[in-house]
Chain A
Amino acid sequence: AQTVTQSQPEMSVQEAETVTLSCTYDTSESNYYLFWYKQPPSRQMILVIRQEAYKQQNATENRFSVNFQKAAKSFSLKISDSQLGDTAMYFCAFMKGYSGAGSYQLTFGKGTKLSVIP
């Protein structure tokens, strides 16, 4: 079974500054995918970024980037130029990378509550 750990229950950052959210995972799988989801106060789950484990290059999406360290099983999210709209819960998630029983399921961490301070 996979586990995902987010060790920072809450964080805060000044507007326009940079913040990094931590995520570690444990798995015996060799092929998998990692995700960061954002949940603003509206409760809607929004995909922020996706990383394929077989790719060494770190994924980026505008102000969001990841630091993927496969050997260390670490997958941190960096938010640059933080904006008030980034205030949300952020969830790290794991998915196996093959078709078949037990696939497609997302295993989530417990989340990090990020507050962006004006």
Chain B
Amino acid sequence: NAGVTQTPKFQVLKTGQSMTLQCAQDMNHEYMSWYRQDPGMGLRLIHYSVGAGITDQGEVPNGYNVSRSTTEDFPLRLLSAAPSQTSVYFCASGLAGGRGETQYFGPGTRLLVL
């Protein structure tokens, strides 16, 4: 199993550009989510999904879009990048049994918006 994979590892964008951060998992997990990590802020939830076709907003959703057409993939789209979106982005997945199942994290994508 590859676990949770994310691409790219690092990206530089100019303000106003759009891009998609890719996330895939091969563990057949229902739950997938995106977090951003900023210095001194911990990890904050952007969007999450409990299955194909089902998505919802987290704590900091503005400026980001998601969709989930398959169980395996959960891409995060930045529609018009802003410097405030400079961050490290983590994708995570886990079973959705409501029993505190372990969530597995990808290696992260570092994004720099100039």
Chain A residues at the B interface, C-beta cutoff of 8 Å: 4, 9, 32-33, 35, 42-45, 47, 50, 52, 91, 95-101, 103-111
Is the Cβ of B102 less than 8 Å from the Cβ of A50?
yes
The listed residue with most B CB atoms (<10 A of its CB), out of A91, A105, A110, is A105
Bound form: Cα–Cα A110–B78 in Å:
24
Instruction: Determine whether the beta carbon of A106 is less than 8 Å from that of B103.
Output: yes
| CB contacts between A and B, total, < 8 Å | 66
Within 8 A of A (CB), among B22-48: 31, 33, 35, 40-45, 48
* B96 proximal to A (CB < 8 A): yes
Tell me, yes or no, whether B50 is within 8 Å of chain A by CB: yes
Band of interface residues on B: 20 to 34
Closest to B58 in A: A105
Separation in Å of the A39 CB from the closest CB of chain B? Answer: 9
**A contact residues around B102 at 8 Å (CB):** 47, 50
Query: Does B90 touch A at the CB level, under 8 Å?
Result: yes
Choose one: A4, A35, A99, A107; the contact of B97 (CB below 8 Å): A99
Compute how far the CA of A4 lies from the CA of B87 in the bound complex, rounded to whole angstroms: 21
How far does the Cβ of B74 sit from chain A's closest Cβ, in whole Å? 13
Nearest opposing residue in chain B for A53, CB measure = B100
Contact of A104 among B40, B42, B44, B96 (CB under 8 A): B96
8 contacts between A and B (CB under 8 A): A9-B40, A44-B107, A91-B42, A101-B56, A104-B96, A104-B98, A106-B45, A106-B103
- A110 and B41 in contact, given A33-B100, A44-B105 (Cβ under 8 angstroms): yes
Closest residue on chain B to residue A95 by CB atoms: B100
A91 neighbours in B (Cβ, 8 Å): 42-43
Of B42, B105, B107, which contacts A111 at CB under 8 A? B42
